[in-house]
Amino acid sequence: PPRPDVPGYALGQATLARAPYSMADLTALQKSMLFGADDVAALRQSKAILADQTEAILDVWYGFVASTPELVVFFGDTRSGQPDANYLGAVRKRFALWILDTADATYDQAWLDWQYEIGLRHNRLKKNKTDGAHGPAQVDFRYLPALTIPITTTLKPFLAKKGASVADVERMHAAWVKAVLMQAILWSHPYIKDGEF
């Protein structure tokens, strides 16, 4: 659904370019990751647990990025050499919606097109444009799949905070690892040489 209160958020907008990968490609990728109906169910179970914790989660994630010089540089203003608070703040609002979207686990063409757009926004093709930022030209590819680990590791305690069983927390965590890695893979498309994706 449109969220005029969150500038740049564009899931479901007809203006998005069509993703260069198809729903059939997604299904094959999911098979190769053992991503199935149980993972969809676990992600959806996590939504109610995470919904009122997104700000606390983002505090942890942003804290990790801020304390890792190799990462925070991508949110820097290349003119001042300092982290750009406006840029960080603008992205943060979309990041909160991304948590809920990932938990929704609705995989359709609109979702696929939005993944492609998010990939472009990390890549030199579109980075900085949405927020008029003056950051480095790209987030380096290597860190995209890498960030799956801190994101999902630090998420786990939040999954456990609302009384779910240990087994359910494990299932939700494993589903989140797959869902985030799957998105990082789709987001990598603009970085990959023609015909090698």
Where does this chain bind a copy of itself (CB under 8 A)?
25, 28-29, 31-35, 68, 70-71, 123-124, 138, 140-143, 145-150, 153, 174, 177-178, 181-182, 184-185, 188, 191-193, 196-197
Residue 182 binds: one of ligand HEM, a copy of itself, none (C-beta under 5 to 8 A by kind): a copy of itself
Candidate list 57, 144, 164, 182; residue touching ligand HEM; CB under 6 A: 144
Binding partner at 151 among a copy of itself, ligand HEM, none, C-beta below 5 to 8 Å by kind: ligand HEM
**Least distance in Å: CB of 163 to ligand HEM?**
26
Distance CA 24, CA 184 (A): 18
Position 127 contacts ligand HEM (CB under 6 A): yes
Three-class SS string for 93-121?
HHHHHHHHHHHHCCCCHHHHHHHHHHHHH
Q: Is 6 or 160 the residue whose CB approaches a copy of itself more closely? A: 160
Rounded Cα distance, 74 and 22, in Å: 30
The reply on whether position 122 binds ligand HEM by CB under 6 A is yes
Beta bridge partners of 76: 83
**Per CB under 6 A, which of residues 10..49 are in contact with ligand HEM?**
none
Shortest Å distance, C-beta 187 to ligand HEM: 7
Q: Which residues contact 85 (CB under 8 A, 6 or more apart)?
A: none
| Residue 91 contact among a copy of itself, ligand HEM, none, beta carbon within 5 to 8 Å by kind | ligand HEM
Q: Give one DSSP letter per residue of 42-53, joined into a string.
A: HHHHHHHHHGGG
- Read off φ and ψ for residue 46, nearest 5 degrees: -70, -20
Residue 133 interacting entry, from a copy of itself, ligand HEM, none, C-beta within 5 to 8 Å by type: ligand HEM
Separation CA 96–CA 83 (nearest Å)? 20
With CA atoms as reference, report the closest residue to 157 among 147, 172, 137: 172
Task: Report whether 190 contacts 125 (CB < 8 A).
Answer: yes
The binding site for ligand HEM (CB under 6 A) comprises 8-9, 65, 71, 74-75, 91, 94-95, 98, 118, 121-122, 127-128, 130-131, 133, 135, 139, 143-144, 147-148, 151, 180, 184
